[in-house]
Amino acid sequence: MRRMLRPLALLIAISPWALAAAQAAGLQVADLYQVGEEAVWIFEAGGERIGEHWLRYEGPSSLLGITAHRFSARVRLAPVGPLPVEQRYQAELWTDDLGRPLRHVFDAKVGASTSRVEISLAGRKAAAHVVQGGTVRDAEIDLPETVFIQANNFIGYFEILLALAAPIDETLRTVHVVSTNALQVIPYRFQRADEFAEEVDGQTVQGAVLEDSFGETIHLSNAGRLIRLEVAAQQLVIRRSDEPVEAFTLEAPAPRKLDDRFSCREVTIAAGGVALAGTVTKPKEATGRLPAVFFISGSGLQDRDGVSSGVDTGTHEILDHLTAAGFLVLRVDDRGVGGSTAPAASFGYDDLVADALACADFLLEQDDVDPERVALIGHSEGGITAPLLAAERPRIAAIVLMAATGRSLVDVIVDQNALALDEAGVSGEERAEMLAEVRRNLERVAGEEEIDPGDLPVEFRSLLANRKWLQDHARQDPVENLARVQCPVLILQGALDFQVSPEKDAAPLAAALDGAQHGDHELRVFPGLDHLFKKVAGEKSTLAEYFTERPVDAEFLDALTKWLGERLQPR
């Protein structure tokens, strides 16, 4: 039995055959849907119901004086697989007569994490307003001439696009969608594979079978209705149904406010072709040159408060605690997040290191910073970066590694997959074969050989989007990098961290400093804490707890602040 170790993430496909037929017939939204018409799709994994999607056509509506068509929609996914917390999403979509998006408002609640995305589209631009984890940011997206809306698991949008988009020649296999989740334009490739005829609610429905580059098989009726979508690698089936679904309403998240005890200033840092937006905080009563800290985030693009895809990692609690203790703190949005820009091309880990170096240099040059008392804190992937910066800039006074890896990224990812398989009850030869396949394909993507996406198993093709990042990491040896560091080093680790191991990561890092006869280093492992240095409810940590409201551990905060204070002596 095949099992996939990634969350549900469904892309929207556009059928050129249905689109051409609809356009030739002059169909518009009002021709396809009656006001108040509803549709339901049921999500099933391994034959078990795990959620549902509901879509309703609300009818013509005025949008800033423009006649539009409004749809409302909801998605609910039960705790299952790699994300064992309930997910709820609600949205409203306004389109023109041909189903092209004008505005989309999307609310999400994943466990205790909430977020809202509002996108308005006009011409070749889309303006997005995002409230995520209590922080606010705005972004502008360049659009191709024709674009459609996409939101993960909102299959009803797929149906609208199938019936109403502009005609596409049968030889063309690419369309563009703007993703509410990723805030970027995504090309999507597909092809027609077969025809189908099946019973739906007592009637025989006929149509086309489409297959796409992500391993999805789509049954689209001749009337432009989405009947069925399958993802074989995940044993996932989404089927049209007349079953009732639960109604719910989500509240939009409120923005987080900075502590009124702090003096804050907004900054922009140039890093090559990227502009990094951030905030400098310090106590209001502080004067003169202060000891300073720059925080380097972990993998997964995060904003300056440590919010990544709706997950509050707790970074803002750490940095607020240090600011209150007398430090000047620089916190920034990662490239492509919040107020920070990003180049159109993909970027790698080396680019993130260059970004962090630019931030460290910025801090060293500030008039209210003592350049002899600047420390770096690196969390997870940031813990690989901090030693590289300390070796490059000997003026760095100290570094702190929070849950840093002490081995190759491939080894870490394979171990994380092993834990996921254990949780799923996979064992023996099947487990060994699956882990061998994970390692084999990770090493291929991290290598230098040219790879045809068709030569990779479907479930690994998405790795190619991050190939440069994996290749850059493959050239790093965290243990050797740390052994070159001369400044004081604090290694912090949660004992119940399931992403990074105290034995396989923290211990080798400390041993490297022992072997280098480093004069001032310390390893501290905190019982009961996870990768985010938050308390775990049971005997082991899980991904689900990342989506619960938990504070960063007070003992951890005090230990970090005390160690930095002893070396940087805030006054």
What mean pLDDT do residues 34-61 have? Answer: 91
Please tell me the pTM assigned to this model: 0.72
Query: Tell me: the pLDDT tens digits for 438-481?
Result: 999 999 999 999 988 878 887 787 788 789 999 999 999 999 99
Tell me the backbone φ, ψ of residue 101, rounded to 5 degrees.
-70, 140
Question: What Cα–Cα distance (Å) separates residue 411 from each residue in 406, 425, 473?
Answer: 10, 21, 12
Query: 121-138 pLDDT, tens per residue?
Result: 888 888 888 887 666 778
- Rounded average pLDDT over 209-235: 82
Q: State the maximum Cα–Cα separation within the chain, in Å, rounded to a whole number.
A: 79
Model confidence at 228, pLDDT cuts 50, 70, 90, reads: very high
Locate 98 and state its tokens.
């041909």
Instruction: Give the span between the Cα atoms of 158 and 161, in whole angstroms.
Output: 5
Instruction: Give the pairing of strands 113-122 and 125-132.
Output: antiparallel
For residue 115, what are the CA distances in angstroms to 104, 150, 209, 292, 562?
A: 14, 17, 35, 31, 34
The pLDDT value given to residue 254: 66
DSSP string, 483-514: HT--S-EEEEEETT-SSS-IIIIIHHHHHHHH
Report the amino acid identity of residue 425.
Answer: G
Predicted local distance difference test score (pLDDT) of residue 422: 84
Q: In one letter, which amino acid is 427?
A: S
Say if residue 531's pLDDT is above 90.
Answer: yes
Cα 9 from Cα 159, distance rounded (Å): 17
Contact 127, 118 (CB under 8 A): no
Q: Are 404 and 506 in contact (CB under 8 A)?
A: yes
